[in-house]
Structure 1
Amino acid sequence: MTKTYLRFLLVGSLISLSACAQQSEVRQMRQEVGSLNQQMTKLGDQSIKLTQQNSLNAKSTTGVYLLPGSNTPARLNSQIGNLQMSLSNVAAEANGTRATLTIKGESNDPLPAFTGEIAWGQFQGTTDNYQEVNVQTQRIEAPASVLAPSDVTIPLRLPGITPDQLGFVRIHDIQPNVP
């Protein structure tokens, strides 16, 4: 009877352990599916922003648009050459939004010192028929690069607008800084 009892106890324990293992696997699967759903939503949002950014830049006659969330550089043919520009680290701060603008030269020459104009604000309407609203501007200055190929990182302070409200950043009027 002792052997039968031990077998019964062992079989019962194994069944209990396998049921627990299945539940933990189910829980893990649910977490992984939830994580994948979040990633898919994020990629979908990024894809929409990228499509909008590309559409705006295809029609733009005044600089290049960068949309927060597109996570993709845009190309600008400027007076200092072809440049790739990207926007990153968009976050709230006390009086608005801060972000990082990265400008990379596409040639093998170092970038000269330059100035440019940054505009930011919101969009009203659709990508095909839009209007920029609540637009603010500021001048930027970048020192000459020493290395080639070169890039410049410019911290931006965008007062008066939260990251959720920020529809675009437009960079234009890039010119060499003449001493």
Structure 2
Amino acid sequence: MAKRYMKLLMVGSLLSLTACAQQSDVRQMHNEVKTLNHEMTKLTEQTVKLTQQNALNKRSTSGVYLLPGAKTPARLNSQIGMLGMSLQDITADANGTRATLKISGESNEPLPAFTATVEWGQIQGTTESFQEVNVQNTLVSAPASTLAPSDVLIPLNLPGITPEMLGFVRIHDIQPLTP
């Protein structure tokens, strides 16, 4: 009788431990699914922004649009050659938004000193029918590069708009500076 009781007790304990282990596995799996869902949401949002950025650039007759959520460079055939451009380090600032504009030369020649017009604001509507709202602009300049291919980092101060509200940055009118 005691042996049978011990066997039942051991089987019951084993089943209890198995049930606890299964609950732990279920919790772990739930957390992993939650993490995957979060990552999928971020990727979906990035894909939408990239699709919008590509559509805007396809329709653009001058300059290049960069959408903060796209996290992908855009190319521009400018007066100083083919350039890749992207936004980096977008953060809040007391007056609005700070970001870094990265411009990469795609030729085997160093980039000359140049100026460019940078516009920023919000986009309302759809990619097919949109309106730029609260647009501001500034002139930026970059020194000549000494290396090729060249990367130029230009700090941007975008007052009057928070990172959450920033819909686009557009770079156009790139002009080489003559010595």
Q: TM-score scaled to structure 2, two decimals? A: 0.94
Q: Which amino acid aligns with 1:105?
A: G
Q: Which amino acid aligns with 1:75?
A: R
1:48-104 residue CA offsets vs partner (Å, 9 max, x unmatched)? 111111111011112000001001111101111000001122221211111121111
**Equivalence map 1:45-124=2 (5 Å):** 45-124=45-124
> Shift of the alpha carbon at 1:5?
4.1
> Shift of the alpha carbon at 1:10?
2.6
**Equivalence map 1:3-82=2 (5 Å):** 3-82=3-82
Q: Which amino acid aligns with 1:50?
A: L
> Shift of the alpha carbon at 1:3?
4.0
- Distance, in Å, in 2 between the alignment partners of 1:6 and 1:151 is 75
- Distance, in Å, in 1 between the alignment partners of 2:46 and 2:72 is 9
Q: Which moved more, 1:5-14 or 1:144-153?
A: 5-14
Q: Which amino acid aligns with 2:63?
A: G
1:5-26 residue CA offsets vs partner (Å, 9 max, x unmatched)? 4433332222121111101111
Q: Which moved more, 1:5-14 or 1:107-116?
A: 5-14
- Matched position secondary structure for 1:133: strand
Q: Which amino acid aligns with 1:135?
A: V
Q: Which amino acid aligns with 1:61?
A: T
Task: Name the structure 2 match of 1:149.
Answer: 149
Q: TM-score scaled to structure 1, two decimals? A: 0.94
> Shift of the alpha carbon at 1:2?
4.8
Q: Which amino acid aligns with 1:90?
A: I
Where does structure 2 lack aligned partners over 5 or more consecutive residues? none
- Matched position secondary structure for 2:68: coil
- Distance, in Å, in 2 between the alignment partners of 1:11 and 1:165 is 61
1:135-168 residue CA offsets vs partner (Å, 9 max, x unmatched)? 1111111112222111111121111001111110
For the aligned residue pairs, the C-alpha RMSD in angstroms reads 1.4
- Matched position secondary structure for 2:107: coil
- Matched position secondary structure for 2:165: coil
Where does structure 1 lack aligned partners over 5 or more consecutive residues? none
1:112-134 residue CA offsets vs partner (Å, 9 max, x unmatched)? 11111100001122211222111
Task: Name the structure 1 match of 2:125.
Answer: 125
- Distance, in Å, in 2 between the alignment partners of 1:83 and 1:20 is 58
What percent of counterpart residues are identical? Answer: 69
